[in-house]
Structure 1
Amino acid sequence: MDIPTILSGPILRRVEPSHIYIWIALSKRYKLGAKLYQFENKEGTTSSYHEINCDSETTTFRAGKQLYISLIKLIPHETQFPADTLLGYNILFQKNNDILGLQDFGLLGKDQPHSITYGDLPLPSFFIPDPCQEQTNLLYGSCRKLHGKGEDALVQGDETIEKNFLDLEKRPSTLFLMGDQIYADDVPDPVFPIMVKAGKNLIGKGEKLTEIEPRLNEKPFKKSIFQTRGRQYIMERFCKFTSSHSRNHAMTFGEYASLYLLSWSPELWNAYVDSEHFPTFKEATKKNQIYFIYEKKKKNKRKREEKIYKKEYKEHVADVKETYQALSKVRRLLANIPTYMIFDDHDITDDWNISHHWKSSVYQSKLGRHVIANGLMAYWLFQAWGNDPDQFAPSFLREMWKYSKTYDTSSHSHKAWEELLWNFDEWHFVAPTNPTSIFLDTRTQRKYDPSPLPVSLGRNIKEKERPPQLIGEQGWQKTTESLYASGWKNGESLLVISPTPVYGIGLIESFLNQYIYPLKTMEIPVTTAFDFESWKYNGEGFSELLHQIKEWKPSHCFILSGDVHYASAVKTNVEFNSNETLCIYQFTSSPLNNMSFSGMQGGLMKAIVTINAAKRRNKEINRYCDDTYDIVKQKRKEPCPANFTWKEKIRYLSTNQGPIIETENNLGHLILTPDTVKNELLQTNQVITYDPISLS
């Protein structure tokens, strides 16, 4: 099969005045370099440009037989690259004496169907904001599923830049992707065979899962592991995963890698799908590509099973086609804006590290431990490496390289690779925005409390594991060290990026906590679009977060989040028992492409929020934390006890259309100036705006 040379990219990654990083994935080895240009804006046009003298350094990681991941670093000859001016770049591909550019791959020029340029610009473009200017203009969002319902909100980001590509005051300078960039545990049925086949072709020999789990050689697993919908039992029983949608779960490194390539670029699709044609359910069934639980001799049950699967398959095809049609715009966006990424659970698997029991159970499973390591290696290569390449020590890269040369699962290098990734807990990073942005790792820096939590539902009383602190003491220490090492100082403004919101909509969280969570802890099968992993479910962890931000002493603090599949804005004023105060604005934008307020449960949740929104829109919610770390909502006219640890006044901010939440696919657009903050939600054919907030 003819796999395209450029599999994904180019994607602009870490950008600052002292260096620029460009990420790209290829199927062939090339010697890569890049050139940087400055456009000259004359009378509203950019017809001319000149090259900027700089050095180009490339680090290439061969991840498979036909998978080369490269980071190209540009370093200025002068002290710094120019700020607040439009810059462009081209990538040079050299093999022997031949040198190609992006134009040779049909990526430049408005006449090319898959062009990554805007307007009449001959090159992909971006700009570096002046670090002396206290303002920022950024896009942010999370939760993007290949078969998500609705239109992909990243398209709105592309169209925003297209409208303002010459106007640097209006053009967003940065994109934050805050988790669930892929759904490794929820792969659509028609994509599964593509993922499996592409994964094998990209990596080559690849790892042998049967060496790790011999039961995969037995019936029915020997066959079902390669059939659509055939992995649910394997993931639950052999890997000890808890995702209820893991029937097509990614397992090998190649499968994780192919999901990233399919999510960010149309290139790999074109190699495996003919004009967006997917095999029909009937065709796939005839070729024995679908796994069925019931045998044919169980006619009635098999017939019902086929009916259910056929309906879902057809829906997946329609949704995936819509995503595929947007990929050229998504690719163009990523090529023209510096992008920073942090994981949440679905990048690896649903419920990843949700509890100590979950983590211990999966670690003790050889297959589960291996799959998690595959997901983390893919996360590093496709996301984390470009956030801050210098944070990964040479010893880290060596272990990655040793194992990936053979993918020998019986080797010592496999064991060392696996242990390194399971124990690595420094995925947090600082992005060079203005204000500075600190990205929190709420997955691998958790602290688990072994003491039981009493849970009751009627007469049924049990003890369950306590929800974890999303970041423990050691995690906060490392995060703080990274923040100060970046040059940030107390008294400066700060952006805190937390994949899961610190302040969600209390009404929704209370509904889940009071009604859904007890059912789930009683092992009653309850499906929900929401995770029980809010900061508020562990009072000590929530308090530690507030105290940590207080110790940093930012002049203004803004928290950006995703995860919860709705958008909201919250302001809170916190007072500590030391009489110190803290003001926080929390902006949440989610999902990019995964609307979850559907069906009976979603309709009920949406109705409850709508009915109660009017009551909460113009009212403050008062609550406090006592000395046992219980977070208590104050009743009307109820005084706060003297032993409070902290107390706060929360206000939900409503959009110009009235509601306090938005549930359609959305992309956040945040504009900060020294005196005001403006937050918008970009949606299909509309912009929903929150009233500008005065910071003076």
Structure 2
Amino acid sequence: MQTATSAESQVPAVLAGPILRKTLPDRLCFWLAVRAPASVRLELFPPDAPVQTHELEPHSQELACLKAGEQLCYLMIDLHLETALPKETLVGYRLSLKLSDDPAGAWQDHEAWAEDLCYPGWDTPFLRVPDKVSSVMHGSCRKPHSRCSDGLVAADRLVAGLLTSPDAADRIANTLPELLVLSGDQVYVDDVAGPMLQAIMFLTGALGLPDETFDGPEEGLPNSGTQLRETGGCLYHRDRLLPRIDQKSTVFDVLFGGTNKPVFTSAHARNHLITLGEMLCMYLLVWSPAAWRILPGFTVPESLDDKDRDMYAREQDTLRDFVEGLSGVRRLLAHLPTAMIFDDHDVTDDWNLSLAWEDAAYAHPLSRRVIGNALIAYGINQGWGNRPARIREDLEHLFETALAQPGSGAHEAVIDQILGYEKWDFVWPTDPPLIALDTRTRRWRSERNAHYPSGLLDWEAATDLQTHLKGQDAVLLVSAAPIFGVKLIEVVQKFFTLIGKPLMVDAEYWMAHPGTASAILNIFQHRDTPKHFVILSGDVHYSFVYDVELRNGHSARHRTAPVGPKIWQICSSGIKNKWPDRLIAVLDRGNRLAFSPRSPLNWLTKRRGMRIIPRKPHGTPGGRRILNASGIGVVELDNQGAPTQILQVTADGKSHAFERREAEARLD
């Protein structure tokens, strides 16, 4: 295998990015991962206006620079413009870098480090500042080694098609998405393919990331990340390194009912990432083809048994297709303003599902370290671009400390602060505004039973949401888990919760916790609430759409006009993940039969005074209301912020419009 030392000279100037984050008339934000600290020159080319040129130095007010290793730095550009950009216009931009390790000190633009960054017909990337948001792309759950195709590649093809069609000028003005919303599981820290783990471990050495040590490691756990890498990384056996709970403890009995199960509850945790360096490298490998080009050719480790060797071969084939699509993914992210919020797999499966889970996970030093590392990596790679100024002020110095001294006492102190941070949610001042909820760290713990699922939003967070909603006519609300879900699946989750097994079915849904359910429904019915709520969700690995009308007791009985706003629950999941086809077909049919408008079971299980109108995805077999296919969601909006068309563009290029089925409306 090629050594890290021999690969150092091959590290590209840009390892990931540029990722366009926020676009406002007077403010632009970009994120990049680069080989060395760099100065930045950003040229903007608005039509029929002078070129704007901005040169930024690292560590300045408008260019943050984080050094993560000998050959890995992060740049966060937060540029305030004196001359505002025109709205609803494609503005070309050229982003050039002058790297500190370049002896020539020359400026290098995308032609030097990403020749394939531009769409056909363009010499530079472009951006657009929307006047009103008329089209949004959204999705979640992108697992690189899932056998389905990548929905972000389909999204890139869709944008390319809009730009090259005969009526491109009209189509761009009307349908080119103004936003890309990623609503969780952008990475799977807890479920990594064998070949991907090999690539990650190689990169930690090739990029010169500091070694992370473990004080008092678990039996069998190497004492540092370097030793873990040099001993093969415990490929397909990392679940043996992760902490297990004492079988005699009360928490253990509550969580797992007496079975010997690790704190980390993913069924696929055999390659769970552990060190901060590993998690940083994961992001480089899922967002860009650049880092893949310096990797050696990996072979199946001789230490694997036959079963694991077969799995390795299958994953290798799947990852080969994944990597081939990364050029398009990088191009897409360079053009569409991208909002991101975490869900559990960005950190670990079942993250903060219940108070009992938290008591078990945070009480153990290693599990606490792993969770903290994942949250630091999220903050650097995803969270920062959502709130550039706030995250920089609050967390930049913590990021610097953790990156410089992984495994130290200072690193542990950073984790303590990161775990208590409560500003991951964000609001973008688009029209309508985009409001992303933190449904993972601001949870409402159950007061009835520690193993019951926590509410997805606590009282303080619900109050904050109400404040953001005041004075708005419409809103784009991002909730990783659907607020209004598929009823049969929620009934199954409730059953397993009642018998003390919520972890078996990921029993995380909004209506599971009485306090959270009441809070969010009261918000919807408040007299000052917006008239239109478009809820963008993911998490569940299938796609569906409900129109929701909230009613008080009188209107629910007499079918009078709905009380409250018009609500569209739109779930697009996954970008690269899905359920087994036969299983989802059974659940879809069971849900339609058990909870049809005339079903006695539906009347016996009515819950909240709602009227639910399902939508049918066009072209699905057997009348299904659930679409089980990887892809990307597209929502087109009118001037009032109401959807005019809701689509799921699948990775195979098909487009499924969701059609409202008024005759199937049910009271719930």
Q: Same-fold call, TM > 0.5?
A: yes
In 2 relative to 1, CA 395–344 (structure 1 residues): closer, same or farther, beyond 3 Å?
A: closer
Aligned to 1:303: none
Deviations 1:206-242 (A, max 9, x none): 2112556576259xx9787722112112224288322
In 2 relative to 1, CA 615–366 (structure 1 residues): closer, same or farther, beyond 3 Å?
A: closer
8 Å contact 1:92–1:99 — kept in the other structure? no
Distance in 2 separating the partners of 1:446 and 1:522 = 16
Mapped pair 1:235 → 2:242: yes
8 Å contact 2:41–2:53 — kept in the other structure? no
Distance in 2 separating the partners of 1:102 and 1:53 = 14
Letter in 2 for 1:566: Y
8 Å contact 2:236–2:308 — kept in the other structure? no
Distance in 2 separating the partners of 1:522 and 1:406 = 37
Aligned to 2:87: 83
Mapped pair 1:668 → 2:633: yes
Letter in 2 for 1:418: I
Identify the match of residue 603 of structure 2 among 634, 638, 651. Answer: 634
Identify the match of residue 471 of structure 1 among 438, 457, 460. Answer: 457
Mapped pair 1:66 → 2:94: no
8 Å contact 2:488–2:590 — kept in the other structure? no
Letter in 2 for 1:26: V
Mapped pair 1:652 → 2:628: no
8 Å contact 2:453–2:497 — kept in the other structure? no
CA drift at 1:372: 1.0
Deviations 1:616-670 (A, max 9, x none): 68x4899xxxxxxxxx95349xxx8xxx9x5111111112235311001021000
In 2 relative to 1, CA 406–187 (structure 1 residues): closer, same or farther, beyond 3 Å?
A: same
Distance in 2 separating the partners of 1:558 and 1:187 = 33
Letter in 1 for 2:180: L
Letter in 2 for 1:651: I
Distance in 2 separating the partners of 1:589 and 1:596 = 13
Identify the match of residue 426 of structure 2 among 429, 442, 447. Answer: 429
In 2 relative to 1, CA 542–35 (structure 1 residues): closer, same or farther, beyond 3 Å?
A: same
Distance in 1 separating the partners of 2:123 and 2:367 = 47
Where do residues 171-190 of structure 1 align in structure 2 (5 Å cutoff)? 171-190=176-195
8 Å contact 2:184–2:342 — kept in the other structure? yes
Give structure 2 stretches of 5+ with no counterpart: 1-6, 57-61, 164-168, 246-261, 556-562, 663-668
Aligned to 1:503: 484
In 2 relative to 1, CA 395–690 (structure 1 residues): closer, same or farther, beyond 3 Å?
A: closer
Distance in 2 separating the partners of 1:187 and 1:540 = 36
Aligned to 2:588: 609
CA drift at 1:426: 1.6
Distance in 2 separating the partners of 1:476 and 1:236 = 34
Aligned residues: 606
SS in 2 for 1:381: helix
Aligned to 2:340: 341
8 Å contact 1:589–1:668 — kept in the other structure? yes
8 Å contact 2:189–2:279 — kept in the other structure? yes
Aligned to 1:160: 158
SS in 2 for 1:98: coil
Aligned to 1:247: 270
Instruction: Name the TM-score, length of structure 2 as normaliser.
Output: 0.84
Deviations 1:288-313 (A, max 9, x none): 4x4xxxxxxxxxxxxxxx23212212
Distance in 2 separating the partners of 1:106 and 1:401 = 26
Letter in 1 for 2:235: T
Distance in 1 separating the partners of 2:490 and 2:263 = 27
8 Å contact 2:451–2:500 — kept in the other structure? no
8 Å contact 1:178–1:561 — kept in the other structure? yes
In 2 relative to 1, CA 615–163 (structure 1 residues): closer, same or farther, beyond 3 Å?
A: farther
Distance in 2 separating the partners of 1:476 and 1:72 = 31
In 2 relative to 1, CA 662–217 (structure 1 residues): closer, same or farther, beyond 3 Å?
A: closer
Instruction: Name the TM-score, length of structure 1 as normaliser.
Output: 0.81
Where do residues 269-668 of structure 1 align in structure 2 (5 Å cutoff)? 269-274=292-297, 278-279=298-299, 281=300, 284-285=301-302, 288=303, 290=304, 306-392=305-391, 394-407=393-406, 409-411=407-409, 413-452=410-449, 465-481=451-467, 483=468, 489-514=470-495, 521=501, 531-551=506-526, 553-576=529-552, 580-598=563-581, 603-610=582-589, 613=592, 619=597, 633-635=602-604, 646-657=608-619, 658-668=623-633
Deviations 1:174-232 (A, max 9, x none): 100000000011000111111122123335332112556576259xx978772211211
Distance in 2 separating the partners of 1:173 and 1:136 = 7
Distance in 2 separating the partners of 1:541 and 1:681 = 29
Which structure: greater strand fraction?
Answer: 1
Letter in 1 for 2:87: A
SS in 2 for 1:206: coil
Aligned to 2:658: 690
SS in 2 for 1:200: helix
Distance in 2 separating the partners of 1:494 and 1:53 = 34
Distance in 2 separating the partners of 1:424 and 1:347 = 16
Mapped pair 1:216 → 2:221: yes
8 Å contact 1:498–1:561 — kept in the other structure? yes
Letter in 1 for 2:578: M
Letter in 1 for 2:295: Y
SS in 1 for 2:280: helix
Distance in 2 separating the partners of 1:273 and 1:427 = 37
Distance in 2 separating the partners of 1:359 and 1:611 = 34
In 2 relative to 1, CA 546–612 (structure 1 residues): closer, same or farther, beyond 3 Å?
A: closer
Distance in 1 separating the partners of 2:154 and 2:482 = 23
CA drift at 1:581: 2.7
Distance in 1 separating the partners of 2:599 and 2:566 = 15
Aligned to 1:11: 19
Aligned to 2:174: 169
Deviations 1:381-428 (A, max 9, x none): 100000121222624222222332232x333x2232011111112210
CA drift at 1:434: 1.9
8 Å contact 2:94–2:125 — kept in the other structure? yes
CA drift at 1:272: 0.9
In 2 relative to 1, CA 200–357 (structure 1 residues): closer, same or farther, beyond 3 Å?
A: farther
8 Å contact 1:142–1:590 — kept in the other structure? yes
8 Å contact 1:213–1:366 — kept in the other structure? no
8 Å contact 2:88–2:130 — kept in the other structure? yes
SS in 2 for 1:392: helix
SS in 2 for 1:559: strand
8 Å contact 2:190–2:271 — kept in the other structure? yes
Worse overlay, 470-479 or 574-583:
574-583
Aligned to 1:455: none
8 Å contact 1:344–1:499 — kept in the other structure? yes
SS in 1 for 2:551: strand
SS in 2 for 1:88: strand
Letter in 1 for 2:408: S
Distance in 1 separating the partners of 2:79 and 2:327 = 25
In 2 relative to 1, CA 512–604 (structure 1 residues): closer, same or farther, beyond 3 Å?
A: farther
Identity, in percent, stands at: 27
CA drift at 1:362: 1.4
Distance in 1 separating the partners of 2:267 and 2:146 = 17
Aligned to 1:205: 210
8 Å contact 1:236–1:242 — kept in the other structure? no
In 2 relative to 1, CA 522–31 (structure 1 residues): closer, same or farther, beyond 3 Å?
A: closer
Aligned to 1:52: 52
CA drift at 1:50: 5.1
Distance in 2 separating the partners of 1:655 and 1:85 = 33
Letter in 2 for 1:258: C
